[in-house]
Every structure is written in C-alpha cells, then in structure tokens.
Structure 1
Amino acid sequence: MKKKNLFLSILLIIVLSACNLPSGGDNAGNSNSTEAPIDDLALTVTAQALLLNQVTNTPEFTATPQFTATPEFTATPSVPQVSVTTNTNCRTGPGVVYDLLGGLNVGQTAEVVGKSSSTGYWIIKLPGSNTICWLFPQHATVSGNTANLPEYPVPATPTPSLPAAPKDFKVETKICTINGITLKYEVTIKLTWSDVATNESGYRIYENGAEIVTLDENITQYTHNTTIAVVPPPGSPLIYTYTIEAYNSTGKSNQKEVTVQCQ
C-alpha cells in the first residue's frame, strides 16, 4: 500500500513538472505575447492621434470692442434765444426812423418772441423787462427753433420829429503845446456829452462854424486835434468855438456850444 501511494505521489510530481516545462508552442506563444503589447501601444498612439485631430481648434481670441462713450445730448432751447457780437439797438420797428426802446449788449441773451422775414429783424424781449422791440439782425446770433415763431407786421412809420439836443456838452481835456517853428499851439481836446435823443441818426460837430466830423448815433465823446495861432501880447489869445447837434431825417436839434483857448 505504501509503495502504491509512493508511486502515485511520484507520478503526480512528474505530471505537474511536465505541465511547467516550456514547449515549442509555448515559445511561439511567448513571442506573440511580447509583440502583442507593442501592437497594442501602436494602436493606442494612433487612436490618441486621431482623437487629437478630432479636437476642434480653439478659436482665436476676439478682442472685446472698446466702449465708445455716447456723446451727451445737448438739448435745443425750447424758447429761441439771441445774443450779439456788438452792442445793438432795439427799436419799435425796423429802422432808425422808429423810436429807440433799448438795446442788447455783448454778453447778454434775450428771448426771441417773433420775426419779420421781410426785413430780417428779430422781435425780442429785452433782458430784465417785458419790453418788446425790433432787434437789428446784422450782429445777432439766434439759437433754437425759429420755424414756429409768429411773423410780425412792419409797424407804421412814426410821425417824424426832431431829435433832442445833447446835454452836458463840455471840453473834458485840453492839451496846448507851442510849436516854436510854426508859432502855433498844437491842441488836442476831448469833447463829451450826454445822449438823450431816442431818434437821432447821429451827431455833427463844428469848429468855428465849419463841420469837422459826423458821428453815428449813441456816440457820447470825440477827440479832436487842431492848431491855434499864437498871438503875442498885447493881443488877446484866439478862441475856438465848438458846437454839436443831433440830426435825423426830419432835421436837426438845437446846437450846444463850448469854447477853447490856449494861453
């Protein structure tokens, strides 16, 4: 019995050893098993390459547009306004034959209440008052919508009247310098007065009865250069007389007079 068991044990060992011995077929199988991982690696790399090719290219970065500020809205004045580049008279109608009511000065703004398309004048409300008058348009700049402004008819020409004479006519300054060669005084005088007329076209100034200058309306001063002969003693110094008057299409005012002499 022991021999039988011993035999069986030896036989079992031989069988088990035979199972572990390498064979030709096993070597071929081992060769294939070595190549298989290489093939698997190649397939893996190829698959990854295909996957990479399938990846959608990342789009190029598109810069966000810079914000452009919207210009601030400047509202058009609902009520038309007017300003001037030169102090401008405002009258009861379109022209110097109409009475002067006031004026619009540089730096001031007035409300425009009407227009006269036939004359080009603007009808305005004087600043600080409710006086309505006709503004000479040459130096005027109007802002706002004027399309709906009412048209003003030209008023009847007022009955002509003489302008008022200027007041306070005087010699404000006087300079007399003797010229030793000509034996005459070289004289510079500054004449001033108050403008009280509302319908004058201008002023005329005379020296010893001869007109020396014509001035525009609303002028209140004039500087004049002249010569006065030197009269040696015992003669009396010469006296020069200056007169001024306001005028318009109707005529002229009374004259005002001053005298000048150099000693």
Structure 2
Amino acid sequence: MMNAKRISLLLTLLTLVMAACTLGANPEQDMTQQELLDAAVATVSAQQLVDAGNVVPLAGSQEEVAPPQVEVTELPTETPLPSPTAFLTATPSEPVVGVTVDTNCRFGPHVGHAYLGAVNTNEKAAVLGRLADNSYTLVENPDLAGTCWLWMSHAFMVSGDLNSVPVVEPPPPPAPTFTPTPEVSYDGQWLVSLGGGGEAPLDFTQNNNLVTITFDFFAETVTMTGALEPDGVTVYGNWNATDGSNGTFAMQIKKNINQFVGNFESGGALFDWCGHRPGANKPSPCLWP
C-alpha cells in the first residue's frame, strides 16, 4: 500500500516538471506556471506528511514503541463515621437544689444544731446526701467551705434525682449548750395573733433551749418547734399543721417577758405573728424583724 502511494506521487511530480519545461517565453505567463509548480510541490509534500501519519511500521523495520504507562492513584480508604448513638448518650445531671425561701443551713438536720450559713433564693447547692425521708439534705455550703444540712420544706431540685443521692447518717441531736435563766419562765398560756387576725390561746413549753408552741388556728392545730438563741429571747424554728402545711417561724420575746413579736412563712410569703400573756397588751407593731 505504501509503495503504491509513493509511485503515484512520483508520477504526479514528473508530470508537473515536464509541463514546466514547455513554458513559453512570456515572463508573466512563466510566473503563473511557476507558481502552479510550487503549489503542486507543496501539495505533494503535504500528502506525504499525511501518509506518514498513517504508516504502520513493518515488523523489524523500526523500534517498537511501548504503550504509555498510566499512573493509577490509589484512593484513600474511607474513614467510617461514628455511630449517631455516640452523640445521643445523655450524661446524668448532678443533683442540685434551690429554694423558694431563704433557708438556714445547719450542722445537722435539726433546728438545735449550729447555724453554718443559708441557701438563699438566688443560690444553688450541690446535694451530697439525704435523710431517708428526704426531709433534710446534706449540701455543699454556699457560704463557707464544707457541707451543711438543708431543710427541704422550701427546696426544689434544679437538676438530678434526689432519690439517686445516697442516704447518710446525720450527726446526733445537739446537746444543750446552755441553760437560760430568765427571771420569769416562758412556760404557760399566751394569746397569739396571726396575720392581723383574731387571737387564739397558745401553749408555750420550754425545755432548756428547746421551745415547743402549740395552738389551734381555725380547724387546724399548729405545732412549732425551735431553738432559743444564746441571747435568751430569740427563737428560730419550723411549724407544721395538721392539714399538712408547714413553714418556718421567728420570734423575739420582749424584755418585759410578757410579749413577743415575729413572723412566720407560709407558701413562700411572710406574715406577721405576735402574742402576749393574759393581762398584757398586744404588741405593736406585730411583725419582727
């Protein structure tokens, strides 16, 4: 096939050369024929180049060209994504308590224990232990380093489950640290006024620094228990009614020993309460402090 193409090209070139040899003497005509000859030569050369691109080399006539090497890039192994459940595992919340009313925090779960601080309504405390009936919890003291016992009557769980906290053994009940010797005993019957209402009989019992007060308020019986402070006239404690309601109270006995003023807390609100012995006048103002 290749030899036939070469012979055809040679014949074409030879014909053009012979035609050029018979050109006349007219220069203008000769120039035109010369240009034709140049174009023919260029055409033959171009055809040779085209044919050269289609030539298949004969075996052994040229070096065999090795096929191009194709570089294969190894793709990185896909890293498996973590399971979605790894992100959904909840971390148990730390038991934390808050209060609706500023509440004293003491050395033990009793009003007779020493005062160590307070948990106020703008504070939170971590719960570390509790009594079996959940009436008191052992918390981190927000005021001082260490722990203290918080009365749970006005407390609520900010986070965590109170029942998940271990039950701990509380300190033993406090022993009396002093014996007040007022000129006149506080024991006996008084008249009490609650929240500006009418008066009702009140029984006052004192055993060293422990005070118990009972009276009837409408259809309920109210029992108050508290501790007499070292000043001998101030009492702080808790109250409970037969209908299940409860709260805290404070009172201060006046120097005449025949009157007292104070406040009691119920449902997160403070109310005045005061009293006097029969024959004495109702103090005014009734609210203290």
TM beyond 0.5:
no
Band of TM-score, shorter chain: 0.3 to 0.5
Which structure is higher in RCO with an 8 Å CA cutoff and minimum separation 6?
A: 1
